[in-house]
Every structure is written in C-alpha cells, then in structure tokens.
Amino acid sequence: MEAIAISSEDDDGPRALDFASLVDPRILFITGGGVGLAPAAPGTVGSIVAAFIWWFAIARLDVVLGLGIILAVFLLGTWAIHVVERQRGLGDAGAIVVDEFVGCWLALCLVESWPGAILAVVLFRVLDIAKPGPIGWADRQLKGGWGVMADDIIAGVIAGAIVVAGEIAVIAFGVV
C-alpha cells in the first residue's frame, strides 16, 4: 500500500508527513495517532476525536488533573512539533493535529453539558478556521511548536469562555 503524503510542497520541498512516518513516536503523537492524515479536513477530524477522548475519558477526572493532562500534551506536543518541523522542514502542516486536541480540550474543560460540549467544539473549529483577532495574530506572528499551538490555545479558551458564560446565564435566568 502506498503512503499518502500530506504536504502542499513538491518533492524538492519539505518531507511530508505520511503513514510510513508514523513509526516515529513524535510524528505519531503530533498527528493524533495518525488522525491528522485524514484525506479531508484533518483539523476537524482531529477535533472530533479529541472531543470524544475528552468526553469519555478526561471529563470524568478532577478538573485540576484534566488541566494537568492538557498541560502535559501541550508541552510534549510543542517540543515534538519543534523537532519534527526542523527535521522535515515543515511549517504548520495540516497533518499536525495535537494543537486541535489541546485547543478543543481547553474549550471543553469547564463545560458541564453535552449540548454545551457540542457547541464548544463547533465554536472552537469556527474560531480556529476563521482566525479572528488575537487568534489570527498568533497564527501569523508566532513560529515553531509554540506558533502551531498558540492560535488553537487562544481559540479554545475563547470558545470555552463563551460556552461557559452561556451555561451560567442559562442557569442564572432559570431557563433550565
């Protein structure tokens, strides 16, 4: 079976991330176990997988432990992205989805309901794709592993804050 390369560069450019490269644990990690190699919309696929992992595993944990997991994935992901970018000459390749995991998890970390979780994931994706304000600034100005992660972190925090504020307002005004 031939590997599917994920890169917008030609053969003289950066070495693409593909299924064969998943033997490198850093690439396996930053592609979300290979999820980032989805042929279409890898960021959205990565966000959906991240949401399921959060909802069915991490959400049941103490909030502090959940935030600790997010921090650990952020730190390991930032380092791994930095190393892989340097080795392969890549920028923010679409196959890298660990940033979507971190951003999505930040959007979900204080959400209390499954409708709120769905809204948080959708809002996170809209913000991550549209890149308004500080999200776009971070995407354009920051480089390396931190740069790949930063726009998703900002999008996740904003999406989560909007949804949590909405949930609080619904409870405060007795709509539930």
Residue 175 has which token pair? 């709509």
Domain that holds residue 124: 19-172
Q: Kindly state the average pLDDT of the residues 143-169.
A: 95
Residue 118 lies in a domain: yes
pLDDT at residue 8, rounded to an integer: 38
Residue 6 lies in a domain: no
How would residue 1 be classed by pLDDT, with cut points 50, 70 and 90?
Answer: very low
Tens digits of residue pLDDT in 2-17: 443 444 343 445 678 8
Tens digits of residue pLDDT in 76-105: 999 999 999 999 888 778 899 999 999 999
- Rounded distance between C-alpha atoms, residue 125 and residue 46, angstroms: 10
DSSP string over 129-144: HH--HHHHHHHHH--H
Q: How many separate domains does the chain show?
A: 1
